[in-house]
Structure 1
Amino acid sequence: MSENSKIEWTESTWNPLTGCSKVSQGCAHCYAERLAARLKAMGNPNYQNGFQLTLHENQLAVPLRWKKSRMIFVNSMSDLFHEDVPFEFVTKVFDTMIKAKQHYFQVLTKRSTVLRNIADKLTWPKHIWMGVSVENHNYTYRIDNLRSTPAAVKFLSLEPLLGPVPDMDLTGIDWVIVGGESGPGARNMKKEWVLDIKAQCIEKDVPFFFKQWGGVNKKKTGRLLEGQIWDGMPTVYEHPTLQVS
């Protein structure tokens, strides 16, 4: 559980559950799985089960102790909408987010069907943002599932971007993040895929955030796209300070 995050589009991470299982192509080289193995080897008590799905009741209240407003990525090491997470635990996580209204929460899932099926049973204040991962055109159905939810802010994470995603329906989408895969075995991301997505965002007036080119050494490849940094954020926020505008 981290008060400070190096992820470019957030400030902190909060993991009331850890561990996951692979559901699509983007999971093949999961960074969370690699990190969980290291944390287990280091003796971190939250990772004694490695990357097996594990619920952490003792972490549920963590954001309530953070008094200063911040942007929080929920479950960077898991998926809140995993099929094996009891609905009662999902509601506990949402209860915390609802109470911690000083923060903004970014929830991200690949399991958009589960999200769609239970979204109407959850409460969605404006400070809870909901996103889905879309690795290539095979997973654009997740955008439709996201669009059906009551979340006030809906976003897409096209990371790792593994192929082109042409002609997206961005109706109702408030933010798009794009990034290449990084680490061992990283698959290449083509510039033309990124430029096409950027063009789609500009045409539909959707904020565009380019996170990284990725690769084995992501620091070397950097974040520049056509010579500049693209740090678009939903209109309620300004980046990089991530303070309410």
Structure 2
Amino acid sequence: MAENSKIEWTDHTFNPWIGCTKVSPACDGCYAENLMANRYGRVEWGAGEDRQRTGAANWRKPIAWDKAAKEAGARPFVFCASLADVFDNEVDEMWRSDLFKLIEATPNLIWLLLTKRIGNVIKMTDPARGCRILPPNAAVGATIANQPEYDRDRMKLWDVKEVCGPLFTFGSFEPLLGRVILDKFAPDWIITGGETDQGSHKARATDPDNFRYLRDQSRDLGRAFFMKQMTRKAPIPADLLVRQYPEAA
């Protein structure tokens, strides 16, 4: 994995636009804000701030990836919006429609749409509201940092699975900020990892046994488990170096 991305669980990263608002404890050390707002001064982070759409050359890249995938007989992953949120309330609906058209035009790619606003997905893909439906080669994931977020959002993600029919669902338990107890409504793919330092924000440590607990529950529930990194990218213990992918992929 990570052919054209530094993120271990994907092959490519594509950003249709840049900018977001913090809505979760997981956002406290947002690498996207540190990179695009604090370091490069490209956008301002927060509610009411403009999101910046990326250029035409960037939007052509997935077409080339799709062509290469078709020739290779492969279906690589594309993590969409590492510097934004596809289901952000402050993004122009036409931008999202354009993105879904691009996803539909690249059927040899599996698009990973990770959001911190999982409650928006159904309404933002509802044709009765004039929205474009979720493309069949898209998977939907929710960022879940702790037990309260899991309890709040697991059924929202399950409803997305039932209503919108994504290729599969996934949860990004990164940064994992405490022990999380899963249940039968857990997403198909459990991705987890520790936090890294971002500017003035110092990484919050995670007990390795909390990762092990997620790993063991994933196994027992028949979910794929992917251990991305330890806190501050410390070496991953051998027993935790498990990197599985969902069967639907």
TM-score, normalised with respect to structure 2: 0.82
Which residue number in structure 2 is paired with residue 176 of structure 1?
Answer: 190
Q: After TM superposition, list the pairs within 5 Å mapping 1:88-237 onto structure 2.
A: 88-121=94-127, 122-140=132-150, 141-149=152-160, 150=164, 151-166=166-181, 168-171=182-185, 173-184=187-198, 185-215=202-232, 218=233, 221-226=234-239, 228-237=240-249
Task: Give distance in 2, aligned partners of 1:176 and 1:232.
Answer: 9
* Structure 1 residue 145: Cα displacement: 1.1
Q: CA–CA distance in 2 between the matches of 1:15 and 1:233?
A: 23
Counterpart position of 1:19: 19
Give SS of 1:5's match.
coil
Question: Which deviations, in whole Å up to 9, do the C-alpha atoms of 1:36-85 show, x marking residues without a partner?
Answer: 147626xxxxx3x3545222362434311322123211011111111101
Tell me the matched-pair count: 224
Work out the CA distance in 2 between the residues paired with 1:115 and 1:233.
23
* Cα deviation, residue 117, structure 1: 2.4
Alpha-carbon distance between aligned partners in 2 of 1:214 and 1:68, rounded to the nearest angstrom: 35
Q: Is the 8 A contact 2:187 2:223 kept in 1?
A: yes
> Which amino acid letter does the alignment assign opposite residue 171 of structure 2?
L
1:149-183 C-alpha deviation (Å, 9 max, x unpaired):
221210010000011111x2343722110101112
| TM-score of the pair, normalised by structure 1 | 0.83
The Cα shift of 1:22 comes to 0.6
Q: For the structure 1 residues 123 and 57, does the alpha-carbon distance in structure 2 shift closer, same or farther, using more than 3 Å as the test?
A: farther
Q: Distance in 2 between matches of 1:3 and 1:198?
A: 25
Where has structure 1 moved over 4 Å in runs of 4 or more?
Answer: none
CA distance in structure 2 between the aligned counterparts of 1:203 and 1:24, rounded to whole angstroms = 28
Distance change in 2, residues 1:113/1:136 (3 Å): same
Report how far residue 102 of structure 1 moved: 1.7
- Tell me how far apart the structure 1 counterparts of residues 59 and 111 of structure 2 sit (CA, whole Å): 14
Letter in 1 for 2:62: P
Which runs of no fewer than 5 residues in structure 2 stay unpaired?
70-75
Alpha-carbon RMSD: 2.1
* Amino-acid identity (%): 29
Q: 1:183 to 1:172 in 2, by over 3 A?
A: closer
Range that drifts further, 55-64 or 148-157: 55-64
Which residue does 2:72 correspond to in 1?
Answer: none
Alignment of 1:43-82 (within 5 A): 47=42, 49=43, 51=45, 53-56=51-54, 58=56, 59-66=58-65, 67-69=67-69, 70-82=76-88
Kindly indicate whether the alpha-carbon contact (under 8 Å) linking 1:19 and 1:54 is maintained by their aligned counterparts in 2: yes
Q: Which deviates further from its counterpart, 96-105 or 118-127?
A: 118-127
SS in 1 for 2:155: helix
Per-residue deviation, 1:191:
1.8
- Higher helix proportion: 2
Letter paired with 2:197? G
Structure 1 alignment gaps of length 5 or more:
42-46, 238-245
